[in-house]
Amino acid sequence: MQASEQIATIKRKLGQRLLILGHYYQRDKVLQHADAVGDSLELARRAAREQDAERIVFCGVHFMAESADILTDPRQQVYMPDMAAGCPMADMAPLRELRKAWEELQSISGDWLPVIYVNSSAAAKAFCGAHGGCTCTSSNASQVMQWVFEQGKRVLFLPDEHLARNTAHDLGLDDTLIATFDPGRPMGGLTEAALSQARVLAWKGYCHVHAFTVEQIQEARRRYPDAHIIVHPETPAPVLRLADAHGSTSQIIKYVEAAQDGSTIVIGTEFNLVSRLGRTHRDRLNIVPLRVSVCPNMALTNESKLMRTLQDWPENNLIRVDETHRTDARKALARMLQLA
């Protein structure tokens, strides 16, 4: 029997007791088996309201499966088809660096709140929850940052410098009020004057998949003069500002769905999503990747690994969030789900 038939057979047998979640960056062969496909926010929401499934298989990257585990009941078990599917950006904010940065900031002023992109470890999320902060995704970063400002506080945003800068800019903050915090240097490499002026500190992390360049935008404009260009907000700010629009994964999908027939749209995000949009809308739109950029971590999951997980339920593929982090990490995630 082929992998796809075997998966279908197991799914039929387990019915509601099994839930397969798939991120948009997964390949189609995997997503055809998913009970829910979404961006990181939609999948976190789906996990949080899931009651029936005893086993959840997360086809995405590690931080997403950890969030699902934190948001579900302890009797529900979360598995990943490949545990090596991490996220390099999430690794750019280790707990010890976050603690050190926080202590340094507290020595200057007590009006900071942590905002932690869900692309982070459970330990970082727990730190955030324990210090009154909130997680965010690229879909709701503006609402979460706004929530901090409404409390008269300032934002320590991690780990993505570009999402921090782009979000603060969208909220009307002048660039002089946003400072890059380099965790490898004392006080983030900032002077006391720069720290007291900043309203947003943007941790110096990034995603290599979204490291698009000004030259790539210029080349796209030259080749497709009438095209609309949209990029993901993990794109560096000087590049993003040359695009016509920016948005999270689901916002990019909506942008494409609303586009006029006959348009050309150049998209700067992960290639599996871009090529799927191209196939879905091939009769009415010309969809072009800004650059072919595959997330190698997302690509670790494939149909045969999914099948093996469903057949054997290997202990090694079970997500186990450290109990010491669970409660506080849940606070930070729950705050986000309530807010936006």
Residues lying near ligand 13P in the complex (CB under 6 A) are found at 39-40, 119, 137-138, 207, 234, 248-249
Among 67, 119, 135, 216, binds ligand SF4 (CB under 6 A): 119
What burial letters (b/e) apply to 188-227, b meaning 16+ CB within 10 Å? bebeeebbeebbbbbbbbbbebbbbeeebbeebeeeeeeb
Of 64 and 198, nearer to ligand 13P (C-beta) is 64
DSSP labels, 264-324: EEEEES-HHHHHHHHHHTTTT-EEEESS----TTGGG--HHHHHHHHHH--GGGB----HH
Q: Write the interaction track for ligand SF4 spanning residues 166-205; mark x where CB under 6 A is met and - where it is not.
A: ----------------------------------------
- Residue 141 and residue 147: Cα distance in Å, rounded? 10
Token pair, residue 204, equals 């110096």
CB of 248 to ligand 13P, least distance (A): 4
Of 135 and 248, nearer to ligand 13P (C-beta) is 248
CB of 334 to ligand 13P, least distance (A): 18
What burial letters (b/e) apply to 42-54, b meaning 16+ CB within 10 Å? bbbebbbebeebe
Is residue 89 within the footprint of ligand SF4 (CB under 6 A)? Answer: yes
The stretch among 51-59, 87-95, 218-226, 322-330 that binds ligand SF4 (CB under 6 A) is 87-95
- Residue 204 and residue 97: Cα distance in Å, rounded? 12
Q: Give 67's strand partners.
A: none
CB of 119 to ligand 13P, least distance (A): 5
Q: Which among 273, 246, 256, 233 is positioned nearest to 39, based on CA atoms?
A: 273
Token pair, residue 24, equals 């948009």
- Assign 199 to helix, strand or coil: coil
Residue 26 contact partner, candidates ligand 13P, ligand SF4, none, CB within 5 to 8 A by sort of partner: none
Among 7, 141, 209, 319, binds ligand SF4 (CB under 6 A): 209
Q: Give 58's strand partners.
A: 21
CB of 40 to ligand 13P, least distance (A): 4
Is residue 301 within the footprint of ligand SF4 (CB under 6 A)? Answer: no
Residue 138 contact partner, candidates ligand 13P, ligand SF4, none, CB within 5 to 8 A by sort of partner: ligand 13P
Is residue 61 within the footprint of ligand SF4 (CB under 6 A)? Answer: yes
Residue 216 contact partner, candidates ligand 13P, ligand SF4, none, CB within 5 to 8 A by sort of partner: none
Is residue 297 within the footprint of ligand SF4 (CB under 6 A)? Answer: yes
Q: Give the phi and the psi of residue 82 in degrees, each rounded to 5.
A: -140, 110
Residue 303 contact partner, candidates ligand SF4, ligand 13P, none, CB within 5 to 8 A by sort of partner: none
> Quick one: DSSP state of residue 120?
S
Is residue 298 within the footprint of ligand SF4 (CB under 6 A)? Answer: yes
Residue 167 contact partner, candidates ligand SF4, ligand 13P, none, CB within 5 to 8 A by sort of partner: none
CB of 274 to ligand 13P, least distance (A): 13
Is residue 310 within the footprint of ligand SF4 (CB under 6 A)? Answer: no
Token pair, residue 178, equals 């946003």
